[in-house]
Amino acid sequence: MLQDGSTQILCLTANSGVPLFTRGASKQLPFSVIGSLNGVHMFGDGQGVVLSSSQTDCGGRVVWRVFHDSVMLIAVNGGHRSGGAVKGHVKGEELFLERLLENVWNCMVLVLGRDELTNTRNVERLKKDLRSCFGLIDQLLEDGRQGIMGNLTHCADCLLPPNPALVQEAVNGFTQSVDSEFGCLVVHGCIAAATEKWWRLAPQEVVLLSALTRMLSASGSASCDYPVFLPQGSPTVAHRLLRFQLLPGADVCVLCGPAPSLHKAQSDLVRQFWSPLAETLRDCLAVGERCLPGTVALRVPDVLALLVVNREARRSVSCVRASADDSPAPPSTPRCWELLRLFYIFAATRYFGQEEAPVSGAAPSEEKAHSRSSSSGDFVAGFSHQPLQCYLVTEECKCYGLQTQQHQLFLLTPLSVPTFALRNVATQTLSAVTADTGF
């Protein structure tokens, strides 16, 4: 039906099944298939059943979800992905697709606002308007391939700068100067510093705004003034996202009201606040894809890839091949990212369970109930206690998951690390990342 492993998003009107758009996968599903996917959901509806997910015998998976009785999103994932042992537990795939649908809906709200999506008087017009969301939706689909985990974890991808106090101060000062409380500095697509209020946005919003910044930054533009609706906090009133590229790869963003104008903020304030920090910003850029400052010492040859989640703050850092002497031994870097995602899905759904942070503001309770219901693991349900650690040995790498009150660590090591040593490597890695940085 679809190419190996590719995911396609279908969007239709909920009540009449008119196709609105499709994204992802180079080859579109035939119209008849789209019609059937919608039809089978409608059939269930007529019987008082909500069809939320289904699986083909070759590992393909379909997930349905209706948003606000107005828009239906369907995610279709072609099976046969070369996932090896990690992929063996298909159950987790559902979590990924459900979050994807939620993210896509949030993209649509962010660009168009909820009213535009729910009061559809003219389907043709809606179809046309929805095109403005494609850039962001495609960015989201693309992100997974580039080492961005936030759309999966709903935790903000962070970069830990070598001199956090300096950049924090600059972000706070600059944000204040544009009459806002919401500001953040994005380096290499990850958040290097943000104001307190920025961190109090819903985690999905933080993730989405990061994706938007990556998209705008990738186009090479110097500054932007983007109207954005906040899916949780302000779905019907647009705010302005101002973004300034300080250096290529380092962007500062603020959410603000009608003033100041882009021209004014840029010509008066950007240089004033950031010129003195040019060198500091270069140091942040030098951290690169490692996302961790040089002071964090990892047991280099033993760490293929890692993801550390701060559970309470809903932030994460991740990197692949943190070593400087990049050994060409397989698996390749892109493959490591894929394995890290798969292991996260595996461990998070099967053992750790995922927590959604309490959503601030008035999210419809119907939605909250939904996101909890389907993906909590069968395994966990059978036990009275919470697993704290888990490991997995595959043909490509070894994986270790570790959970504390505050953090979760997902670690990949080469096969050469003895299995009995994994726990040791994991504990050391976690404390190396968190101890000095205060992450």
Partner 1 sequence: MAQDPPPGSIVTPDWHRCAESKDFFDRIMHKKKRKQFGLLESPMMAPHVAVNTVHYKVLLSGKSGVGKTSLAARLAGLSIPNMHYETTGIETIVLYWPVKLKENGRVLFFRLQLWDCGENALRRFDHLLPSCKEQVDAVLFLFSFTDRTSFDDLPNQIARWSEPSDRVVKMVVGTKFDLFMHSDVTQREVMQFQERQGLPVLRTGAEASDGLGDVAYFLNCLAERLWHQDCMAATLDSCPTHYREGALI
- Binding site residues, partner 1, CB under 8 A: 111, 129, 131-132, 134-135, 138, 216, 219-227, 238, 240-241, 244-248, 250, 258, 261-264, 266, 270-271, 274-275, 278, 281
In the complex with partner 1, the residue whose CB is nearer, 152 or 281, is: 281
Minimum Å gap between C-beta 258 and partner 1 is 6
In angstroms, the CA 300 to CA 321 distance is 8
In angstroms, the CA 154 to CA 207 distance is 6
In angstroms, the CA 138 to CA 145 distance is 12
Minimum Å gap between C-beta 178 and partner 1 is 14
In angstroms, the CA 233 to CA 48 distance is 32
User: In 3D, which of 66, 86, 59, 65 has the Cα closest to residue 4?
Assistant: 59
Give the count of beta carbons closer than 10 Å to the beta carbon of residue 349: 23
Minimum Å gap between C-beta 97 and partner 1 is 24
Minimum Å gap between C-beta 284 and partner 1 is 13
In the complex with partner 1, the residue whose CB is nearer, 82 or 275, is: 275
In the complex with partner 1, the residue whose CB is nearer, 46 or 220, is: 220
In the complex with partner 1, the residue whose CB is nearer, 43 or 134, is: 134
In the complex with partner 1, the residue whose CB is nearer, 98 or 251, is: 251
Minimum Å gap between C-beta 241 and partner 1 is 8
Q: Specify the residue for token string 């959604």.
A: 356
Neighbouring residues of 263: CB distance < 8 A, sequence distance ≥ 6: none
Q: Specify the residue for token string 């059943």.
A: 49
User: In 3D, which of 343, 340, 360 has the Cα closest to residue 352?
Assistant: 343
Minimum Å gap between C-beta 62 and partner 1 is 26
Neighbouring residues of 366: CB distance < 8 A, sequence distance ≥ 6: none
β-pair partners for 374: none
Token couple for 133:
């969301």
In the complex with partner 1, the residue whose CB is nearer, 136 or 190, is: 136
